[in-house]
Amino acid sequence: MMQKLISVEGLAVRFFTRKGTVRAVDGVSFDVDDGGIVGLVGESGCGKSATALSIMGLLGPAGETTSGSIRFKGEDLLRLSPKEMRQIRGKEISMVFQEPMNALNPVRSVGEQVAEPLKIHLGLSGGEARLRAIEMLEEVGIPDAASRYDQYPHQFSGGMGQRAMIAMALICEPKLLIADEPTTALDVTIQAQIISLLHSLRERLHMAVLLITHDFGVVAELCDVVNVMYAGVIVEWGNVVDVFDDPLHPYTRGLLRSMPRAKRRQRKLEVIGGAVPSLIELPQGCRFHPRCEYVTKRCFSEEPPVFQLNDDRLVRCWLFEGRMKL
Amino acid sequence: MAGKGRNCVPRALRQKVRAGLWQETISRFGENSMAMVGFYVIAAVAIVAIFAPLISFHDPYEINLRQRLLLPSGAHILGTDAFGRDMLSRIIYGARISLLVGLIPSFISIGIGSAVGVTSGYLGGKIDFILMRVADIVIAFPSLLLAMVIMYTLGAGLSNIFIALSFVGWAEAARVVRSQVLSLREQGFVEAAKAMGVRRRAIMARHIFPNCLPSLVVLFTLKVPEFILAEASLSFLGVGAQPPVPSWGLLVSQGKEFIFSAPWVVAFPGGAIFLVALAFNFVGDGLREALDPYLKR
Amino acid sequence: MATVPVLIGVSILIFVMLNIIPGDPVAVMMKERISPDVVEKVKAQMGLDDPLIVRYFRFIGGALRGDFGMSYKLNRPVSRLIMQAFPNTLALALAAALVSWLIGIPAGVLSALKPNTIIDRAFMGFSVAGISMPIFWSALLMQYLFALKLGWLPVSGFYGAKYLLMPAVALGWSAAGTIARLSRSSLLDVMQKDYIRTARAKGLSEVRVVVYHALKNALLPVVTVMAIQVASFLSGAVITESVFGIPGLGRLAVDAIRTRDMPLLEGSVLFATFLVVMGNAMADILYSTLDPRIRYGR
Ligand SMILES: Nc1ncnc2c1ncn2[C@@H]1O[C@H](COP(=O)(O)OP(=O)(O)OP(=O)(O)O)[C@@H](O)[C@H]1O
Ligand SMILES: [Mg+2]
């Protein structure tokens, strides 16, 4: 087996707001292997970004990681000092965000922003950093990178902006890239280009990727392993192929059914009924029960534990009671 | 149309939301201690102003040349001015002027400004262009100078101050309202009302104007101290209220020659202006914070 | 640009306001009682009998050549009086601007970086105080304390840098309050932006995040306001100049009103407003050179 690069255990994230405490992440555990690529899927607001930001230590003033551990190369990131964490960010672990146009500083040139980590982490001089950044911009497929270096974000298209973001994240050749919905804000054709770019860069740089998305299609194309997240917890974990062929959790089934497929002649597009519960007041019992088509009496009162089906298949649902309980 | 169906329910619903808006705002405002202090100061000053004849021991106009520039004492708590008039009574009566001069032009200028802004923003086109150019011209003037010129033309006196300040102030309100209207005009409920054939004037009055209210409330509370300061400045310069009216700005102006021998004749009335302006600014800031979610739309 | 139409509008408004007063300028000029015949003759000579529109074009024609007529009271060309006053006003405006920036920007930035702390509260308290303070009052109190009681500074007049200190602080403080509040809210806003999170995700130190990534964005809108403020100092330091006896533009306007000197008032107000309009235009230009989004078009 490959070695674990990062191992998240029982992670919990809370946001403290005027309306109450948001339990955005509520005991999430998963691993990413060295060089592996793991998907984290779920509807909007289920805590995907919160998980990613918690790993980066960037939750901001309202958020707090209240429990759990994040072991990266054997060290718990949650115990590092702010200074030690800064040395990891951008160098060992990088992040690409959803909307390139908001994530780039509008008043600094794109090139400067891409080159910045080199200066900070590797102590490169301005000239060296510039050359390296231009190379990187070329590598992510920005034509005429040398002259594009001095342009500002608003002169870039969304797709080009996201390429620049990727260049910026990868310029120090990190071990882990967290890509938080890197394609959601882009056109479909450009989405495909970005996905294949990520794919080829991963090969070359031998980095691991945690890919966050609500698009199962993207996961199917890129990932080895997938975590399905619902309302702050992971409800299903498994090999991408297995999960696709045989989704276990009713939520995963719903997600897959709601996905338009080219192969199966576009049936009626199904959606999961009901709405994502408020993470301030979660329903009793299973979080999914108000929307579940297989709901039983027990689901109303008792929260299901994680059941293990075989070596690499986990699911959090009473339907699978009797299998091995983790 | 989906919007049509949506519009049928919201009439009642929107009213509820709006009631909720003010309730929520008031409770959030109440949590802001500075704003509450400001509110109590204003309330106290207002009570003093209303009941001035009952509260003051002396006639603010009574000249007594044997008691000129007396130090604060038991008989004259804030001392006397150069004509031997009781300072405290003059300041108490002056509160009436300051409050009126803060409130009335604010009402008038925001009233005119809203009418202009709603018309301009909703109708657009030539009318909008003309109205906004006129507003540009008024805003281009340094406001105190413009007020001074108007006072020069109309002559000194309290009622002319109302006119001058209203004229200076309407343009800014018009701009604020217009920009709000422009964004509101595109919103679903306005579109829906239009689709249902509601008349233009009714849309402006019933659907658009009420949604501008949060910004106008904030603008109002911030205009009041501005106008209080403006009146004080005009009176200080001699083109505002005329003696013997106990306007605070005039009191400071009359006291300034005696500042070395009797600094209190400057300190107290000026302090009164400062206190009231500060209180209104605190309330304005508090309201702006409390209304924040409704202002950014 | 809308500058020219606005200036035309401004000139019309000033002219109309000052020429519809019933008061008789000739009577103002001549202190003694004179026969109505003479008054009529002088009026005709001065062209005051012509219709308003003719007089407006005469006025604006002169103004374009820098000729605002003769002051009734001082009997000197208004333009000369304005040009004599302007350098004093300029000196005061620049000094006040310096005071307001040196206080306002650091106060606003520190407050935004430590929101809701004692530092923030204190700075913001001072800012609101500055905005709420009648300038004539703070000016008089300063005169009392620093000139009369302590004797550190001259009371009034304008004969050198020393004379500028109190007026600059009096005028600059209220502007500093505005700048501090604006920089605070602007920086608070910017610190919430996605690109600040990106900067942090790169592993930058907090200082670098603020200085390199946040400040320029946050201060862009403040710069505009600062430029407009300088323009308003140039045109509207009426009170400060009066209290401290600085012979500048504002004083000129006040004196003109006091002596009912119509050409002087007309000229000084038009000139002051011209400064404001130009100041706003400059602020726009400044903003667009600083902001790459505008510099390189959208
Ligand atoms: N700064 C914050 N303050 C308060 N609540 C927050 C904050 N950030 C996120 N939340 C809440 O935490 C929950 C999880 O948010 P998160 O951003 O992780 O969702 P997500 O799965 O990334 O969704 P999306 O697909 O929309 O990005 C949501 O309910 C959200 O409202
Ligand atoms: Mg997200």
Confirm or reject: Cβ of A63 under 6 Å from ligand 1. yes
Question: Which of A49, A55, A278 should be mutated for ligand 1, with most atoms under 8 A from CB?
Answer: A49
Binding-face residues of B in 128-167 toward C, CB within 8 A: 133-134, 136-138, 140-146, 148-153
- For residues B25 and B72, the answer to whether their CB atoms sit within 8 Å is no
- Please give the structure tokens belonging to residue A118: 């080199």
A102 interfaces chain C, CB cutoff of 8 Å? yes
pLDDT-above-70 percentage for chain B: 93
Q: Please tell me the distance between residue A217's alpha carbon and the centre of ligand 1 in angstroms.
A: 22
> Out of B148, B259, B270, whose CB is closest to C257?
B148
What pLDDT score was predicted for residue C24? 58
> Out of C134, C144, C269, whose CB is closest to B149?
C269
- Rounded to the nearest angstrom, the minimum Cα separation between B269 and chain C is 9
**Least confident among A306-315, B129-138, B216-225:** A306-315
Read off the pLDDT band of C176 (50, 70, 90): very high
Most confident of B277-286, C25-34, C159-168: B277-286
Whether the pLDDT of residue C37 is over 50: the answer is yes
C229 interfaces chain B, CB cutoff of 8 Å? no
Distance CA C236, CA C253 (A): 10
> pTM of the full predicted structure?
0.84
Residue type, C242: S
What pLDDT score was predicted for residue C129? 92
What pLDDT score was predicted for residue C157? 80
Q: Please tell me the distance between residue A229's alpha carbon and the centre of ligand 1 in angstroms.
A: 13
Question: Which of A16, A22, A216 should be mutated for ligand 1, with most atoms under 8 A from CB?
Answer: A22
> Out of C2, C20, C128, whose CB is closest to B281?
C128
Of C156, C158, C155, the residue nearest C85 (C-alpha): C158
Of C186, C10, C157, the residue nearest C92 (C-alpha): C157
Residue C260, CA distances (Å) to A103, A257, B133, C20, C24 in order: 60, 85, 30, 14, 10
Where do runs of H (alpha helix) occur along chain B? 2-8, 10-31, 33-50, 52-55, 87-123, 125-140, 143-154, 158-185, 188-195, 200-202, 209-237, 248-255, 264-295
Are A86 and C195 in contact (CB < 8 Å)?
no
Are C199 and A89 in contact (CB < 8 Å)?
no
What pLDDT score was predicted for residue B6? 37
C37 interfaces chain A, CB cutoff of 8 Å? no
What residues form DSSP beta bridges with A314?
A237, A308
What pLDDT score was predicted for residue C70? 84
C194 interfaces chain A, CB cutoff of 8 Å? yes
Question: Looking at chain C, which subunits does it touch, using at least 3 CB pairs closer than 8 Å as the criterion?
Answer: A, B
**Least confident among A120-134, B164-178, B259-273, C49-63:** C49-63
> Out of C194, C205, C293, whose CB is closest to A152?
C293
Neighbours of A280 (CB within 10 A): 13
Distance CA C280, CA C270 (A): 15
Whether the pLDDT of residue B186 is over 70: the answer is yes
**Least confident among C203-207, C208-212, C227-231:** C227-231
Best mutation site among A49, A95, A98, A105 for testing chain C: the one with the most C CBs within 10 Å?
A105
What pLDDT score was predicted for residue B13? 44
Of A286, A290, A282, the residue nearest A298 (C-alpha): A286
What pLDDT score was predicted for residue A56? 95
Q: Which residues of A touch C120 (CB under 8 A)?
A: none
What pLDDT score was predicted for residue B214? 85
- Rounded to the nearest angstrom, the minimum Cα separation between B51 and chain C is 25
Of B63, B62, B61, B58, the residue nearest B75 (C-alpha): B58
What pLDDT score was predicted for residue C119? 93
Distance CA A311, CA B36 (A): 63
Read off the pLDDT band of B17 (50, 70, 90): low
What pLDDT score was predicted for residue A157? 92
Read off the pLDDT band of B9 (50, 70, 90): very low
What pLDDT score was predicted for residue A263? 47
Average pLDDT value for chain C:
87
**Least confident among A110-124, B57-71, C24-38, C108-122:** C24-38
C9 interfaces chain A, CB cutoff of 8 Å? no
Best mutation site among C194, C202, C287, C298 for testing chain A: the one with the most A CBs within 10 Å?
C202
pLDDT-above-90 percentage for chain A: 56
Mean pLDDT on A53-57: 95
Of B58, B96, B110, B97, the residue nearest B80 (C-alpha): B58
Q: Please tell me the distance between residue A17's alpha carbon and the centre of ligand 1 in angstroms.
A: 12
What pLDDT score was predicted for residue A325? 60
Distance CA C140, CA C93 (A): 19
* Model confidence pLDDT, tens digit, residues A218-232: 888 889 999 999 999
Read off the pLDDT band of A265 (50, 70, 90): very low
Predicted complex: ipTM over 0.90? no
> Out of C193, C203, C216, whose CB is closest to A86?
C203
**Least confident among A195-199, B86-90, C248-252:** B86-90
Whether the pLDDT of residue B57 is over 80: the answer is no
- For residues B206 and B175, the answer to whether their CB atoms sit within 8 Å is no
What pLDDT score was predicted for residue B18? 62
**Least confident among A8-17, A22-31, A185-194, B153-162:** A185-194
A123 interfaces chain C, CB cutoff of 8 Å? no
What residues form DSSP beta bridges with A75?
A72
pLDDT-above-90 percentage for chain C: 48
- Please give the structure tokens belonging to residue B285: 């800031």
Distance CA A171, CA A205 (A): 10
Q: Is A262 exposed, middle or buried (0-12, 13-18, 19+ CB in 10 A)?
A: exposed
Q: How many CB pairs under 8 A join B and C?
A: 134
Question: Which of A19, A41, A46 should be mutated for ligand 1, with most atoms under 8 A from CB?
Answer: A46
- DSSP class of residue A321 equals B
Q: Please tell me the distance between residue A50's alpha carbon and the centre of ligand 1 in angstroms.
A: 6
Of all protein residues, the one whose alpha carbon is nearest to atom 25 of ligand 1 is A44
- Rounded to the nearest angstrom, the minimum Cα separation between C250 and chain B is 8
Most confident of A305-309, B83-87, C1-5, C26-30: A305-309
Are C204 and A152 in contact (CB < 8 Å)?
no
Of all protein residues, the one whose alpha carbon is nearest to atom 12 of ligand 1 is A24
- Rounded to the nearest angstrom, the minimum Cα separation between C220 and chain A is 10
Of C16 and C29, the one with more pLDDT? C16
- For residues B31 and B292, the answer to whether their CB atoms sit within 8 Å is no
Nearest CA in chain C to A103: C195
Q: Please tell me the distance between residue A49's alpha carbon and the centre of ligand 2 in angstroms.
A: 4
Most confident of C34-38, C132-136, C148-152: C132-136
Residue type, C201: A
Atom in ligand 1 nearest the alpha carbon of residue A16: 4
Confirm or reject: Cβ of A24 under 6 Å from ligand 1. yes
Whether the pLDDT of residue B8 is over 50: the answer is no
Mean pLDDT on C1-25: 80
Mean pLDDT on A249-274: 68
Phi first, then psi, for residue A77 (nearest 5°) are -60, -30
Q: How distant is the alpha carbon of residue A255 from its chain centre?
A: 17
Whether the pLDDT of residue A261 is over 80: the answer is no
Q: Please tell me the distance between residue A38's alpha carbon and the centre of ligand 2 in angstroms.
A: 16
Mean pLDDT on A1-5: 74
> Out of C208, C213, C296, whose CB is closest to A105?
C213
Distance CA A194, CA A141 (A): 10
**Least confident among A63-77, B23-37, B273-287:** B23-37
Read off the pLDDT band of A267 (50, 70, 90): very low
What pLDDT score was predicted for residue A85? 93
What pLDDT score was predicted for residue B38? 94
Question: Which of A21, A25, A48, A230 should be mutated for ligand 1, with most atoms under 8 A from CB?
Answer: A48
Residues 6+ apart with CB under 8 A from C60: C11, C15
Whether the pLDDT of residue B10 is over 50: the answer is no
Read off the pLDDT band of C179 (50, 70, 90): very high
Mean pLDDT on B97-114: 94
Whether the pLDDT of residue B232 is over 80: the answer is yes
pLDDT-above-70 percentage for chain A: 94
Read off the pLDDT band of A215 (50, 70, 90): confident
What pLDDT score was predicted for residue C65? 86
Average pLDDT value for chain B:
84
B168 interfaces chain C, CB cutoff of 8 Å? no
Distance CA A180, CA A213 (A): 7
Question: Looking at chain A, which subunits does it touch, using at least 3 CB pairs closer than 8 Å as the criterion?
Answer: C
Of all protein residues, the one whose alpha carbon is nearest to atom 13 of ligand 1 is A24
Distance CA A241, CA A259 (A): 16
Whether the pLDDT of residue C86 is over 60: the answer is yes
